[in-house]
């Protein structure tokens, strides 16, 4: 069982315990443990198998979660969770994930109105029954209705990062099957969509039955949905996620990979181009329409070459700009993780992170970075132990001392993630911010304010001469919270005028800016910074998710400021 699945178990356990009104400290321990495990760069199974190490020694896990993790790794299940699942149906606990509802209110809706599903919840809200309950009211009822769409999406699609962990696990499993000669993953996963509904695996095998048997033996398979004679098998992994494996001939592999990668709109455009040249393209290859003679399909390059195009990277295949770029031979040289030289958003144990400045610095050096910015929260984020001016200046003095230790290895910028206050203005005074090397401005409170008010708050931050960058500019949490209402066009135009940067936050729950917004920033020549928003040393590894999103936006290394070498980056900061 991989880390993501273990973390999912602890998150579900926390939801079920919260629904029952159990000890909040116990619930928080499960949630914190899930967060730590999901961020680990090493598998829990590997740590448990090492007699020289103890999983419980990792901060945020402890003995209880370590013991339960061992049970999950050994057996694939947890008796406590199975018992709770029998007591509380999935359809009921799904209500807990509706934004604005929570476990206590969901429990009351279940006990007092008999609501046992999202459909029943929607019907009760639309009938006005929820608003009549004490402690709810019309405002809460509308908030629940607004959140139902998010909850529904959360039940259907998973983060790309979660799909990636499963994809790599399946790839590793199938690599041990001698019959498999080629294997690639397709679909929205390969295109890097921020959420993924299922996985498509394409295989060339010398023995198709052996390959299908091996696929069906995947340890986390919970059900075989369907198994054809020789071409396709579908399994369910965990509670709901579907994985399809298709077996194709070697000379069809490229055509099948192109076809099943999609998107649908991209493929329709490609087929129209083929028809104009007297060709037809399908999952089996490229053929002349006049005599059905096969002219290509073993590789994707052959498919695109047949219509006079270079290979289009999967992340761009959404029928946006890719065909124009390809026809003009100016496809962007998409950014890679290797291009990143700095990370400008991270937290330490001074606020809500788990590591010290030195630990974050050492981890950054291990990942080949030349510079980082320490950006703990400002005081408005009291729940994260945000820093006031005095604590922040003390931290900056410490960074000056630490920088001397790391000279020639890493430059640590004195930074802050400073909140934009609900009434407007910055959370810390200008005379404090003026001493920073790097200031991120962000909104954490007042996210339900009106469009103009939120826009004005961000525009005010952009106009502040000490603010370098707007962090996670729309505030969304994928499948959990919609973006706040903001005129992003106005924000981008202001950023153009002021030279303020915009962040693409690589946290897989954020990926904010999204791909279309990042593409718009590129068109306006607004430099982007891709940051991890790491709260631990392992959190630095989420950079790859931000890079995947940036590639979907067509970003190159030249579009991203923290690909510059440290001297050039510092010169750019001084210039601004």
- CB crowding 235-263: b at 16 or more within 10 Å, else e: bbbbeebebbbbbbeebbbbbbbbbbbbb
Q: Is the pLDDT of residue 284 over 60?
A: yes
230, 247, 264 - which closes a domain: 247
SS3 46: helix
Residue 95: per-residue pLDDT: 80
CATH code (residue 343): 3.20.20.140
Burial grade of 335 (CB within 10 A; 0-12, 13-18, 19 or more):
buried
**DSSP letters of 386-441?**
-B-HHHHHHHHHHHHHHHHHTTTT-EEEEEEEEEBPTTSSBSS-HHHHTT-SEEEE
127, 155, 183 - which closes a domain: 155
- For residue 519, being part of any structural domain is answered with yes
Name 544's Cβ contacts closer than 8 Å, sequence gap at least 6: 337, 506
Q: What is the mean pLDDT of residues 225-248?
A: 90
Q: Tell me: the pLDDT tens digits for 561-572?
A: 999 999 999 999
Q: What is the mean pLDDT of residues 447-459?
A: 96
Q: How many domains does the chain have?
A: 4
pLDDT class for 153, splitting at 50, 70, 90? low
Q: Is the pLDDT of residue 445 over 70?
A: yes
Higher pLDDT, 21 or 339: 339
Q: Is the pLDDT of residue 325 over 80?
A: yes
pLDDT class for 72, splitting at 50, 70, 90? very high
Judgement on whether residues 437 and 542 belong to the same structural domain of the protein: yes
What is the C-alpha to C-alpha distance for residues 432 and 396, in angstroms, rounded to an integer?
11
Judgement on whether residues 97 and 164 belong to the same structural domain of the protein: no
Judgement on whether residues 445 and 552 belong to the same structural domain of the protein: yes
Judgement on whether residues 232 and 284 belong to the same structural domain of the protein: no
Per the structure, the complete domain to which residue 72 belongs is given by: 3-155
Please, are residues 492 and 502 in contact by the beta-carbon 8 Å criterion? yes
> In terms of DSSP bridges, do strands 198-205 and 180-185 run parallel, antiparallel, or are they unpaired?
antiparallel
Cα 186 to Cα 54, 192, 337, distances in angstroms: 38, 10, 21
Residue 287 is classified by DSSP as E
Element (H, E) at 104: helix 102-113
Judgement on whether residues 40 and 109 belong to the same structural domain of the protein: yes
Residue 554: per-residue pLDDT: 97
Name which of 422, 345, 424, 411 is nearest 377 in CA terms: 345
Burial grade of 120 (CB within 10 A; 0-12, 13-18, 19 or more):
middle
Q: Is the pLDDT of residue 45 over 90?
A: no
Q: Is the pLDDT of residue 149 over 80?
A: no
User: CA gyration radius for the chain?
Assistant: 25
Q: Tell me: the pLDDT tens digits for 484-530?
A: 999 999 999 999 999 999 999 999 999 999 999 999 999 999 999 99
Please, are residues 239 and 171 in contact by the beta-carbon 8 Å criterion? no
224, 247, 270 - which closes a domain: 247
CATH code (residue 212): 3.30.460.10
Average of per-residue pLDDT values in the chain: 93
Judgement on whether residues 166 and 25 belong to the same structural domain of the protein: no
- Indicate yes or no: pTM above 0.75: yes
Highest mean predicted confidence (pLDDT) among 45-54, 167-176, 217-226: 167-176
Please, are residues 535 and 352 in contact by the beta-carbon 8 Å criterion? yes
Please, are residues 483 and 443 in contact by the beta-carbon 8 Å criterion? no
């Amino acid at each position: 069982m991989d880390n993501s699945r273990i973390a999912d178990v602890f998150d579900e356990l926390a939801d079920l315990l919260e629904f029952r009104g159990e000890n909040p400290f116990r619930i928080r321990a499960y949630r914190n443990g899930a967060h730590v495990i999901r961020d680990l760069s090493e598998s829990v199974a590997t740590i448990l198998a090492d007699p020289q190490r103890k999983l419980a020694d990792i901060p945020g896990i402890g003995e209880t979660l370590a013991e339960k993790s061992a049970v999950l790794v050994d057996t694939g299940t947890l008796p406590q969770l199975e018992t709770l699942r029998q007591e509380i149906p999935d359809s009921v606990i799904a209500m807990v994930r509706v934004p604005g509802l929570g476990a206590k209110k969901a429990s009351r809706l279940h006990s007092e109105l008999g609501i046992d599903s999202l459909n029943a919840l929607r019907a009760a809200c639309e009938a006005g029954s929820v608003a009549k309950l004490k402690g709810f009211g019309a405002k809460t009822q509308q908030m629940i209705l607004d959140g139902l769409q998010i909850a529904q999406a959360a039940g259907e699609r998973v983060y790309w990062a979660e799909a990636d962990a499963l994809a790599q696990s399946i790839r590793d499993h199938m690599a041990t099957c001698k019959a498999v000669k080629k294997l690639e993953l397709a679909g929205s996963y390969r295109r890097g969509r921020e959420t993924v509904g299922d996985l498509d695996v394409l295989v060339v095998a010398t023995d198709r039955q052996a390959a299908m048997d091996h696929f069906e033996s995947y340890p986390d398979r919970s059900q075989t949905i369907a198994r054809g004679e020789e071409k396709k098998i579908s399994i369910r992994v965990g509670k709901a996620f579907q994985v399809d494996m298709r077996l194709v001939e070697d000379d069809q592999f490229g055509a099948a990979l192109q076809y099943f990668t999609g998107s649908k709109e991209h493929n329709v455009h490609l087929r129209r181009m083929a028809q104009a040249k007297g060709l037809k393209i399908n999952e089996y290859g490229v053929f002349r329409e006049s005599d059905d003679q096969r002219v290509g399909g073993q590789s994707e390059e052959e498919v695109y070459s047949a219509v006079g195009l270079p290979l289009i990277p999967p992340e761009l295949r959404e029928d946006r700009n890719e065909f124009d770029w390809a026809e003009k031979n100016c496809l962007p040289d998409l950014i890679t993780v290797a291009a990143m030289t700095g990370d400008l958003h991270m937290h330490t144990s001074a606020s809500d992170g788990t590591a010290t400045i030195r630990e974050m610095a050492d981890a950054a050096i291990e990942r080949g970075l030349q510079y980082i910015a320490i950006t703990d929260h400002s005081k408005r984020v009291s729940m994260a132990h945000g820093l006031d001016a005095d604590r922040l200046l003390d931290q900056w003095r410490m960074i000056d001392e630490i920088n001397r230790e790391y000279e020639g290895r890493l430059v640590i910028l004195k930074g802050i993630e400073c909140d934009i206050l609900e009434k407007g203005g910055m959370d810390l005074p200008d005379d404090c911010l003026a001493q920073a090397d790097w200031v991120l401005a962000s909104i954490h409170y007042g996210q339900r304010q009106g469009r103009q008010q939120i826009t004005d708050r961000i525009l005010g931050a952009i106009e502040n001469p000490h603010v370098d960058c707007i962090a996670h500019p729309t505030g969304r949490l994928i499948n959990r919270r919609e973006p706040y209402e903001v005129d992003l066009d106005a924000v981008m135009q202001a950023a153009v005028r002021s030279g303020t940067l915009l962040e693409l936050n690589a946290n897989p729950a954020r990926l904010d800016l999204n791909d279309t917004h990042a593409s718009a920033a590129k068109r306006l020549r607004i430099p982007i910074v891709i940051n991890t928003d790491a709260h631990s040393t392992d959190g630095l590894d989420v950079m790859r998710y931000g890079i995947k999103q940036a590639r979907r936006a067509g970003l190159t290394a030249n579009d991203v400021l923290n690909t510059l070498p440290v001297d050039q980056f510092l010169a750019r900061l001084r210039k601004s």
